[in-house]
């Protein structure tokens, strides 16, 4: 026996603790009308989780609690405990005894316990469903509900049959799977929306990463080209600087020696007694030429410096022009543009709510300002980006002035040279030995002029090398910014050729290298410069998240597919077991029906009826205008057909009250035979039976007791005689139900 006891405390008329021990296969509960017998059947429903207070003959939860009497005050709670023997593990829980308890309080709160541990109603329902037990259904038939299965509609009748066949477990699993499937499909939709929202950002980042990757390739190319260019340029400047210094030494030494020789000749002329006007004039001319040449040298050096600065300024202007092109063709950041769009739409939304034209005009002006500010900020040409031509103009003006001064100096030098030549001719014409010193002065000055011309060329070369060195240092800094410190190690780069070959290379080839490097630098600046690590990191994180979401969708779709397969499998199992169960019930139903009526036919059949679908209120008018378009759906259920012996009575509506009772009992017993529940509670289901039928009823009860434990609430003597233990329920004037019990086996022994 699975059912061991039932304990009531404060439940309806059972104010005090009352315990029913079910130690017999058939237990009877008897007592006069109004004593509280039916409360016992309702306590079974209550403790097993019945949620309909109406089916427990109440309106509110507090109606189930003892409401007090003249002697005993009312209770604040009602509780019912049911004890099962679970040694055979018919309940899916690892305890030999299982106590299920339910308590209700006057504020309507319900509590549920399994072995004194608080649980949910759902936990109890799932535990009992595995053992073919429920809060209501075929195994608990309360007073007046014997023919409930006959009065039910086809859908309710089908649910009762499914409950009797133990299909609730599969239905719970199916419902749970459907909920999980719906949740899974909702999650798939949400994740797909997330992926769609992130797609534009990932696309934008991909473009940026492509730029960064191209910039990395160009940076590597720039590094390789720059190291060769810098190495060649550095060696060229160094080689030519040394070469120029070496070439300058001989003319400079000779010029220094001539200067000493000239000084000595001048001293001779100044001390000579034969000194005349020609000698004085010669000294003056020499001094003037020396001064004018010094001025010419200074102007030439200044001109070289100015020309170098002009060349550098031209390169700067050319670079700034390229920078401006980059700004004009700049790619707008998606997030920046999105912010502006949001601001504009926010203003538009405000404008929609305005009725005043002046306010709308102000909003339009505000929108214009937002767009103007965005363009101004995004494509701004601030002072750092504006091309400054003033410095170039100043340098050009200085060059013009220097050219003018140099032209004057050259003209003066030409004039002095002309005078010098005339004087030289006169002195050389005179064959007097006293003019030897003058001739020496002329000879020295002539050679000095030649040497100075040579040294001027070398100085021009030196100035050019200085400018090249300055340009080299600027380029080195710019390249170092783009390729890093690796550019500073250019001197370690191995060209594999000698210095002579480097120095003798055509300068146009090196200039082509410089232009190629400059183009790469401009493109790198167009890409924004920098390493792009943050963009690559953000793109990597975004793609990883997108891949994760993609995997999540795949997993969810796999789960959804598995759930659909499970639901399909459950539906197939439900269908197969339901159809098999109907066939078995029909067999037993026919047997019991024949036993009850002495013949006849009875059975169940699965039918489908059309029903109207619930329609949206917005389409009701369309349906009213077109009734033929009313949507219908089919509903599956169970129909009962009966044919009484020796009568033409067919169908449930033509049965009398007694015949309905016998038919319902036959069907209930048939259902119990197919999938026997652990226990059956029958509340006066035999009330409408006569003596002959009561005997048949008693025989069926004894047969049923082989499969299920029976708790019978009855007034029928024949039914009482089949019980192994009887509980008497009485009620005194205090309105409290009390128990008396007797075991027939013990009574027989006492009688003997």
Cβ burial, residue 733 (10 Å; 0-12/13-18/19+): exposed
Whole-model pTM?
0.53
Report pLDDT for 273: 44
Residues with Cβ within 8 Å of 329's Cβ and at least 6 positions away in sequence, in order, are: 526
- Mean residue pLDDT of the chain comes to 81
Report pLDDT for 282: 67
Report pLDDT for 198: 86
Give the Å distances, CA to CA, from 282 to 262, 289, 447: 12, 10, 16
Are the CB atoms for 296 and 452 separated by under 8 Å? no
Q: Which fold has domain 1-139+678-752?
A: Rossmann fold (3.40.50)
Report pLDDT for 118: 95
Report pLDDT for 274: 47
Reduced to 3 states (helix: H, G, I; strand: E, B; else coil), residue 223 is: helix
Using the 8-state DSSP alphabet, how is residue 433 labeled?
G
Residue-wise pLDDT for 345-372, tens only, equals 888 877 887 777 887 888 888 888 878 7
Instruction: For tokens 């934008």, name the residue.
Output: 204
CA separation for the pair 672, 138 (Å, rounded): 8
Domain ranges for the chain, please list them. 1-139+678-752, 188-526
Phi, psi dihedrals of residue 599, rounded to the nearest 5°: 145, -160
Report pLDDT for 383: 42
Sheet bearing 737-743, strands edge to edge:
140-141, 679-683, 709-713, 26-30, 725-731, 737-743
Reported for 355-361, long-range contacts at CB under 8 A and 24+ positions apart, including other chains, are none
Phi-psi label, residue 166: left if phi above 0, alpha if psi -120 to 50, beta otherwise: left
With 80 as the cut, is the pLDDT of residue 225 above it? yes
Reduced to 3 states (helix: H, G, I; strand: E, B; else coil), residue 309 is: helix
Residue-wise pLDDT for 591-641, tens only, equals 888 888 888 889 999 888 776 555 555 555 555 555 554 455 678 888 888
With 70 as the cut, is the pLDDT of residue 384 above it? no
DSSP result, 339-368: HHHHHHHHHHHHHHT---HHHHHHHHHHHH
Residue-wise pLDDT for 666-686, tens only, equals 888 888 788 788 888 888 888
With 90 as the cut, is the pLDDT of residue 65 above it? yes
CA separation for the pair 714, 684 (Å, rounded): 5
With 90 as the cut, is the pLDDT of residue 79 above it? yes
- Based on C-alpha coordinates, what's the Rg of the chain? 58
With 60 as the cut, is the pLDDT of residue 530 above it? no
Out of 184-188, 324-328, 430-434, 611-615, pick the least confident: 430-434
The top-scoring range by mean pLDDT among 195-209, 302-316, 515-529 is 195-209
pLDDT, mean of residues 416-440: 65
Residue-wise pLDDT for 97-116, tens only, equals 999 999 999 998 999 999 99
Report pLDDT for 431: 45
What share of the chain in percent tops pLDDT 90? 18
Instruction: For tokens 């009497």, name the residue.
Output: 69
- Token digits for 121? 């109603």
Residue-wise pLDDT for 229-272, tens only, equals 888 888 888 888 888 888 888 888 888 888 887 777 767 666 55
pLDDT, mean of residues 324-329: 63
Instruction: Please provide the distance, in angstroms rounded to a whole number, between the alpha carbons at the two ends of the chain.
Output: 28
Nearest one of 571, 581, 489 to 230, comparing CA atoms: 489
Reduced to 3 states (helix: H, G, I; strand: E, B; else coil), residue 88 is: coil
With 90 as the cut, is the pLDDT of residue 305 above it? no
What's the gap between Cα 171 and its chain centre? Answer: 35
Cβ burial, residue 285 (10 Å; 0-12/13-18/19+): buried
Q: How confident is the model at residue 399 (pLDDT cuts 50, 70, 90)?
A: confident
Are the CB atoms for 467 and 311 separated by under 8 Å? yes
Nearest one of 417, 447, 446, 410 to 297, comparing CA atoms: 410
pLDDT, mean of residues 498-511: 84
Using the 8-state DSSP alphabet, how is residue 227 labeled?
H
Residue-wise pLDDT for 447-468, tens only, equals 877 887 788 788 778 888 888 8
Residues with Cβ within 8 Å of 209's Cβ and at least 6 positions away in sequence, in order, are: 532, 535, 536, 539
Using the 8-state DSSP alphabet, how is residue 682 labeled?
E
pLDDT: which is higher, 537 or 134? 537
Are the CB atoms for 214 and 207 separated by under 8 Å? no
pLDDT: which is higher, 660 or 145? 660
Out of 79-88, 618-627, 742-751, pick the least confident: 618-627
Instruction: For tokens 């100035």, name the residue.
Output: 463
Are the CB atoms for 259 and 448 separated by under 8 Å? yes
Q: How confident is the model at residue 491 (pLDDT cuts 50, 70, 90)?
A: confident
Instruction: For tokens 């939304």, name the residue.
Output: 349
């Amino acid at each position: 026996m699975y059912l061991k006891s039932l304990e009531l405390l404060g439940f309806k008329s059972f104010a005090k603790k009352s315990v029913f021990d079910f130690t017999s296969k058939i237990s009877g509960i008897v007592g006069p009308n109004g004593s509280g017998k039916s409360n016992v059947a309702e306590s079974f429903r209550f403790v097993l989780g019945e949620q309909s207070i109406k089916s427990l003959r109440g309106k509110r939860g507090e109606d189930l609690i003892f409401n007090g009497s003249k002697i005993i005050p009312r209770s604040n709670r009602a509780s019912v405990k049911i004890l099962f023997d679970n040694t055979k593990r018919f309940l899916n829980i690892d305890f030999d005894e299982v106590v299920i308890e339910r308590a209700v309080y006057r504020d309507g709160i319900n509590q549920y316990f399994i072995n004194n541990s608080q649980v949910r109603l759902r936990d109890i329902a799932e535990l009992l469903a595995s053992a073919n037990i429920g809060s209501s259904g075929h195994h608990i038939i309360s007073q007046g509900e014997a023919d409930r299965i006959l009065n039910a509609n086809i859908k309710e009748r089908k649910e009762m049959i499914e409950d009797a066949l133990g299909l609730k477990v599969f239905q719970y699993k199916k419902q749970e799977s459907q909920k999980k499937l719906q949740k899974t499909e909702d999650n798939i939709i949400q994740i797909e929306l997330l992926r769609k929202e992130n797609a534009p950002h990932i696309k934008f980042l991909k473009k940026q990463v492509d730029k960064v990757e191209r910039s990395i390739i160009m940076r590597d190319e720039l590094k390789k080209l720059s190291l060769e260019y810098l190495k060649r340029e550095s060696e060229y400047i160094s080689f030519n600087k040394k070469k120029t210094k070496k070439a300058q030494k001989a003319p400079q030494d000779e010029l220094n020696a001539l200067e000493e020789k000239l000084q000595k000749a001048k001293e001779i002329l100044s001390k000579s007694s034969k000194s005349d006007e020609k000698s004085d004039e010669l000294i003056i001319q020499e001094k003037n030429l020396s001064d004018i040449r010094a001025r010419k040298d200074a102007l030439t050096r200044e001109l070289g410096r100015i020309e170098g600065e002009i060349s550098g300024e031209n390169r700067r202007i050319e670079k700034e022009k390229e920078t401006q092109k980059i700004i004009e063709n700049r790619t707008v950041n998606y997030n920046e543009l999105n912010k502006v769009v949001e601001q504009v739409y926010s203003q538009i939304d405000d404008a929609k709510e305005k009725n005043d034209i002046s306010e709308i005009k102000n909003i339009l002006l505000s929108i214009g300002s937002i767009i103007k500010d965005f363009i101004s900020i995004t494509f701004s040409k601030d002072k750092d980006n504006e091309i400054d031509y003033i410095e170039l103009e100043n340098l050009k003006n200085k060059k013009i002035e220097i050219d003018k001064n140099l032209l004057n100096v050259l003209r003066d030098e030409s004039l002095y040279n002309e005078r010098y030549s005339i004087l030289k001719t006169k002195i050389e014409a005179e064959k007097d030995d006293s003019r030897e010193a003058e001739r020496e002065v002329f000879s020295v000055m002539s050679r000095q002029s030649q040497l100075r011309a040579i040294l001027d060329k070398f100085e021009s070369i030196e100035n050019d090398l200085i400018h090249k060195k300055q340009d080299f240092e600027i380029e080195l800094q710019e390249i170092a910014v783009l390729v890093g410190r690796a550019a500073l190690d250019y001197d370690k780069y191995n060209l594999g050729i000698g210095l002579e070959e480097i120095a003798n290379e055509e300068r146009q080839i090196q200039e082509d290298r410089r232009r190629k490097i400059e183009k790469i630098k401009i493109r790198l600046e167009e890409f924004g410069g920098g390493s792009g690590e943050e963009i690559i990191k953000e793109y990597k994180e975004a793609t990883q998240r997108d891949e994760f979401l993609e995997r999540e969708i795949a997993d969810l779709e796999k789960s959804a597919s598995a759930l659909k397969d499970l639901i399909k499998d459950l539906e197939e199992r439900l269908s197969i077991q339901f159809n098999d169960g109907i066939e078995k019930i029909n067999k037993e139903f026919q047997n019991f029906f024949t036993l009850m009526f002495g013949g006849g036919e009875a059975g169940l059949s699965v039918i489908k009826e059309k029903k109207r679908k619930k329609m949206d209120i917005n389409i009701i008018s369309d349906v009213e205008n077109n009734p033929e378009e009313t949507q219908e759906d089919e509903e599956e259920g169970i129909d009962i057909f009966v044919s009484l012996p020796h009568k033409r009575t067919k169908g449930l509506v033509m049965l009398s009250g007694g015949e309905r009772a016998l038919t319902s009992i036959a069907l209930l017993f048939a259902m119990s035979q197919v999938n026997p529940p652990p226990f059956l509670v029958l509340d006066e289901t035999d009330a409408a039976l006569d003596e002959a039928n009561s005997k048949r009823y008693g025989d069926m009860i004894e047969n049923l007791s082989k499969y299920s434990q029976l708790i019978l609430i009855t007034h029928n003597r024949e039914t009482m005689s089949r019980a192994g233990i009887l509980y008497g329920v009485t009620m005194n004037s205090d309105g409290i139900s009390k128990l008396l019990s007797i075991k027939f086996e013990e009574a027989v022994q006492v009688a003997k």
